[in-house]
Amino acid sequence: MTRRLLLVNGPNLNLLGTREPGIYGTATLADVERLTADAAADGGFEVRAVQSNHEGVLIDAIHAAREDCEGIVINPGGLTHTSVVLRDALTGVGLPFAEVHISDVYAREQFRHHSYLHDVAAVRVIGEGVDGYANAVRQLIALIP
């Protein structure tokens, strides 16, 4: 049986590599997906990746993960601070998930300090750049029986 994680990247993360490189670095979304897949492979997992600027697409992908994934790694982007329905989708599927943020959201604008996911995430990795994705994968895999 294939062991799989779902990697979810939310709005504007398709712009990685060119969007505010002083904050987010120069790694692209393809780099993030490759880094995440490599970390997962080291733990015996493969990764299915989705990125969308549309909340409903992300929710549909999270719902579908119930069928063939054992955990979720998510960088919800700006939806972190606004989306109750994203939180409901993640708690509704019953899979452990890791919340990842490339930048240190607590060193940025006040509105970024609030996360609708912080108290339900099994793992939180904040401010480690794109390397945080690999860290999140390793921590999440350690929690999966």
Max alpha carbon distance in the chain (Å)? 44
Residue 81 annotated as binding site: yes
Is 101 annotated in the active site? yes
Residue 68 annotated as binding site: no
Is 24 annotated in the active site? yes
CA angle in degrees (0–180, nearest 5) for 116-14-33: 85
Residue 112 annotated as binding site: yes
Residue 72 annotated as binding site: no
Instruction: Exactly one of 24, 63, 113, 133 is catalytic; name it.
Output: 24
Residue 12 annotated as binding site: no
CA angle in degrees (0–180, nearest 5) for 28-95-13: 20
Instruction: Exactly one of 54, 101, 106, 133 is catalytic; name it.
Output: 101
What are the beta bridge partners of residue 50?
8
Residue 83 annotated as binding site: no
Tokens of 58: 């992300």
Which residue ranges make up the annotated binding site?
Answer: 75, 81, 88, 102-103, 112
Supply the residues annotated as catalytic: 24, 101
Residue stretches of the annotated binding site for substrate? 75, 81, 88, 102-103, 112
